[in-house]
A and B are shown apart, each in its own frame.
Chain A
Amino acid sequence: MRHSDRSTFHPLARLLHWLMAAAIIAMLLIGLGMVASVSARHDWLLAIHKPLGIAILLLAITRLVVRRRHPPPPLPADLPRLQAWAAHASHWLLYALMLAMPLIGWAMLSAGGYPVTLGAGLQLPAIAPTNTTLFAVLRAAHSVLAYALALTFLAHMGAALYHGLIRRDGVLASMIGVRRKTSASN
């Protein structure tokens, strides 16, 4: 796929970004909802949670590969250093969490002795030994990191809107796919 425009993300990167944005916010809400419900919702949300988590894991790996082949456009040169640092740190935190959460969930079910079923008779192997201490630690981590992911997501969304509406520096446009006007507008 040709992509000569260096001011926007590669179309595949954009597609992956928005797919994952929808999947991750859905996943956070599904996770929070299912552990707070005793109705039939608990079971059908859980039935979505597991395959969607694996889908996010696969998408995140794909995204890292795409990112390697098509590096993202640079941040605006005039971005204050602290903001630039926060931008890089929060992005790597997001990547770490979107990889870690599905793996922790999968390992947690393995450690708890649960079969890891994805529906339609599909079953994943255990990736951790059956061990309740390990289960307890992973179960707690799955909750804590879910809140961390929710907060990072909110910060990311707020920052994107800040770039798009306050700074109007083309950062949000680069992920929406709108070409940045020539640098003369700066």
Chain B
Amino acid sequence: MTSPSSSRPGLWRWALVIAPVLLVLLIIAYVAGWLSPHRLTPDRFINQFQTNGGVHPGLRRNHAKGVCVAGYFQGNDQASVLSRAALFADVRTPVVGRFSLPGPNPLTPDGSTPVRAMALRFALANGQQWRTAMLNAPVFSVNTPQAFYQNLVAHAPDAHTGKPDKAKIAAFNAAHPEMAPFMAWAKATVPSASFATQNYGGLDAFYVTNARGQRHAVRWRFVPQAKATDPTGKPDANALDADLMQRLANGPLRWQLVFTVAQAGDPTAQAATAWPADRKQITAGTLVLTRASGQAEGPCRDINYDPTILPDGMSLTDDPLPPARSAAYADSFRRRTAEEAHLPGYPAAKETH
């Protein structure tokens, strides 16, 4: 260091200038996943949905077929022992929701699957929100994002036949015994001709914290008050929307929100496994849906039903699915809004659907 600055700098000095820059570049590349082509990223998740179901610009990459609903949630203060979230007091909270079918195809016939979904966004008076996206199944199909992704890959259309390879699906199912409860339900369930009669569960486990700071693990379900008058035959391709409009024309539709409280040892990270049936249940209030509208113009179109958006008094557990859903939904939302905005590099969304 004693050499005068006018002398030619040694190579090692240049190395000390360049090496830190390259090191930071390398760290950036690692963190961004550029060095790990097999890392499961939101991008790869959504690409797989597109591989399986095609690109439908402007629409959600999963649960593409749906309808908007709106109404309110009337809390009854009984769940305040569980959670200090403001909506569980004796108050009315506005709700914008969405009923949907699973899968990336917006033209899925209603009779092709027994799965129906209900997503809700509660806008609390204090500015906080609760968003949840639920299924009418008793449990989720798998426990982990990796298994969910592999299931998508197993269902990808074969390059030659254009249809999923049954051998791959069978191999996936055999390797995932956790699927058994969901598969048993799916096999035994006749596709419903009404969204209104279905019992929707959050399936994932979340923590709720009350005003005294006490925390419990819970799951929740929205239990329908509408009578199940399901016919035994398969519903028509678009029977669900027609049924919803007709029922709402006759009056609001109601569900009771029921929390199931875990006991010590109940798994919080296994959404494919039901908790024992004798767990304590608390009814938190009533969801009242009063109107519906098409998803192209309805208020649910621009909502990402990210299940990790929770009010104060609710939080994530070690369940690995909600963070994965949050990450994947965000990428789906990024893509479909870019398509709607006609950003360069994205297929343009159709004006109506």
Interface residues of A (CB under 8 A from B): 25, 28-29, 32-43, 46, 112-115, 117, 121, 123, 125, 130, 132-133, 135-137, 139-140, 150, 153-154, 157-158, 161-162, 165-169, 185
Contacts and interface: CB of A to CB of B under 8 A. Distances in A.
Give the interface size bracket for B toward A: 35 or more
Given A43-B323, A115-B309, A165 B32 contact: no
Interface of B: 5, 9, 13-14, 16-18, 20-21, 24-25, 27-28, 31-33, 39-43, 45, 126-129, 145, 301-304, 308-309, 312, 316, 318, 320, 322-324, 326-328, 330-331, 333-334, 337-338, 340-341, 343
Contact of A139 (B16, B129, B312, B334): B334
A137 B128 contact: no
Nearest to A137: B341
Contact of A36 (B25, B33, B337): B33
Contacts of A140: 338, 343
Given A37-B41, A37-B327, A46-B326, 15 more contacts: A34-B327, A35-B330, A36-B42, A38-B45, A40-B318, A40-B323, A42-B42, A43-B316, A137-B341, A137-B343, A154-B25, A158-B21, A165-B9, A166-B13, A166-B17
B128 A123 contact: yes
A37 to B, nearest CB: 6
A28 B28 contact: yes
Contacts of B324: 38-39, 42
Given A43-B308, A114-B309, A139 B338 contact: yes
A165 B20 CA distance: 13
A29 B24 CA distance: 10
15 contacts: A29-B28, A29-B31, A37-B33, A42-B323, A43-B308, A112-B337, A113-B302, A113-B304, A123-B128, A132-B337, A132-B341, A136-B337, A140-B338, A140-B343, A165-B9
B24 A161 contact: no
B127 to A, nearest CB: 5
Contacts of B17: 158, 161-162, 165-166
A42 B333 CA distance: 16
Nearest to A167: B5
Contact of A165 (B16, B33, B304): B16
A26 to B, nearest CB: 11
Given A112-B333, A137-B343, A42 B326 contact: yes
A117 B128 CA distance: 8
